[in-house]
Amino acid sequence: MGASVVLYRGIEKTIKNMDSSLDDKKDKIADLFIKSGFMLSADFMEDLYQYYLEIGWGSENNEISNPDQLRELGYHLVDVIDLFDMDYDENKDPLVLDEWITIKNLVSTYAEDIDDDLLTYIMQFAVEKGAFR
C-alpha cells in the first residue's frame, strides 16, 4: 500500500472523529503527513506542513478554521506525498507555483539528507514548473 493511501485513510479517520478538537485534528494530520513522508526527514516534513497551515490551504481567509477546510488540506497533502513517493500525477498536476518554490527551497535546505534519485525527481519537476524563476 502506497504512502498516499495510508495518509488518505488516516485523514478520513481523523476528520470523522467527533471527539477531537480542530487543533487535535491538525496535530494528528501533521503526524500522519510526517510519517507518510518517511523518505524525507521529519524536520523537512514539519516545515512543509507548517507552510500549508500558514497559507491556510483550502480556506478563503488563510486560516483553517473548520473540518472541511482541514479535509481539503489533507487531500492536497496526499498529492504532495505522491511527489515524494515518486508517483506524482503529471496529468492532474495539483501543485501550484508557490508550492513548487517552497518545495524547491526546502529540498535545497535538506538536500544532503535526501536520496539522490528522489532529489533528482523532485528538482526535475521544480525546474519544469518554473520554481527557479
pLDDT in tens, 15-69: 999 899 999 999 999 999 999 999 999 999 999 999 999 888 777 777 888 998 9
Structural domain contains residue 76: yes
**How far is CA 78 from each of CA 10, 86, 112, 128, 131, rounded to the nearest angstrom?**
11, 12, 24, 21, 21
pLDDT of res. 56: 80
What's residue 1's pLDDT?
56
Residue 133 lies in a domain: no
Count: domains in the chain: 1
State which residues form the domain around 84: 3-128
Residue 13 domain-assigned (yes or no): yes
Q: Report the distance separating Cα 40 and Cα 59, nearest Å.
A: 27
- Read off the pTM: 0.91
